[in-house]
A = this chain, B = another copy of it.
Amino acid sequence: MQTYLDCIPCLLTQALKAARAVTDDEDTHRRVLNAVAGMVPQLSLGLSPPEITQYGYRLIYQITGSSDPFHQAKVEANRAVLALYPHLKEVIAGAEDPLLTACKLAIAGNSIDLATNFGQMDIGDIIETALVSPLAVNGYQRFLSSISSARRILYLGDNAGEIVFDRLLIEEMRRVRELDIDFVVRERPIINDATRDDAVAVGMDRVARIVSNGSDAPATILSQCSPEMLGLFYAADVIIAKGQGNYESLDAEPANIFFFLRAKCPIVAGLLGVNVGDAVLKQ
């Protein structure tokens, strides 16, 4: 999708949040905000929102001297959700439809997002709400049918912490049927998106092959991806794409993609025909 003018104030809010995660120095916060505001007139709205964010982060890195503003937050998110892993495993195992429950939890996990206000929600509340709420866009039956005949599955991860939920969904998919799953992470840190370190920290390597996409965009921008990643993308029978960033960058791709996400802003919610906060499983 293209960038909307509404995305620009949001970019400034994100930049401020990232600067504050790196340092308490208010001069640095101000310099980051000035620099990101300064790039606004040059921004092409033909770029997708995650590409715009990527440009913003380059300025943040340059000014703050940190190339991983949310490092600590990511470590903590992984640890916090990993502590819930045994409980979540039981919830899934005890559910009437364990795979549907694993899907709902994987979408709930997408609430852990430091780019938006969703990151401030309590994980326990997120889980409880997800289990009792319907999917606002419900592509579950199509997903079930797609994976029942799939051999190669590409799973595009999103955020640290959230990837524990992804691991649970992968385990549930593989419990039903042996599957070859590649789990894709960002090449370098951006926002709180998961990298290889995060994936290893939550034991993803035990259930899937971890692959970097070769890019530091908070999304899957194919023109930035490595040849390895592109090969997997075009060979996959089913692609699971987590989060708004992956949706914003892949919504127009003619592949068999299932988007698992929480709608986190009015623009994306409007495009999907849902309310902000809704859970979406969309082919």
Bound-state Cα–Cα, A258 to B154, Å: 60
Q: Which of B5, B6, B16, B45 touches A6 (beta carbons < 8 Å)?
A: B16
Closest B residue to A40 using CB positions: B37
Q: Which of B5, B10, B12, B26 touches A8 (beta carbons < 8 Å)?
A: B12
What residues on B are CB-neighbors of A174 within 8 Å?
A: none
Please tell me if A23 contacts chain B, counting CB pairs below 8 Å: no
Please tell me if A177 contacts chain B, counting CB pairs below 8 Å: no
Please tell me if A167 contacts chain B, counting CB pairs below 8 Å: no
Q: Which of B9, B13, B38, B45 touches A16 (beta carbons < 8 Å)?
A: B9
Bound-state Cα–Cα, A5 to B24, Å: 13
The answer to whether B5 and A29 touch across the interface, beta carbons within 8 angstroms, is yes
Closest B residue to A13 using CB positions: B9
What residues on B are CB-neighbors of A30 within 8 Å?
A: 5, 45
Segment 1-51 of A: residues with Cβ below 8 Å from B:
5-6, 8-10, 12-13, 16, 26, 29-30, 33-34, 37-38, 40-41, 45
- Quote the shortest CB–CB distance from A218 to chain B (angstroms): 18
- Quote the shortest CB–CB distance from A40 to chain B (angstroms): 4
What residues on B are CB-neighbors of A40 within 8 Å?
A: 33-34, 37-38
The 6 closest A-B pairs by CB, nearest first: A37-B40, A9-B12, A9-B9, A34-B41, A9-B13, A37-B37
A8-B33, A30-B45 given; 20 more Cβ-contact pairs under 8 Å: A5-B16, A5-B29, A5-B30, A5-B33, A6-B13, A8-B12, A8-B16, A8-B37, A9-B9, A9-B10, A9-B13, A12-B12, A33-B40, A34-B40, A34-B41, A37-B40, A37-B41, A38-B38, A38-B40, A38-B41
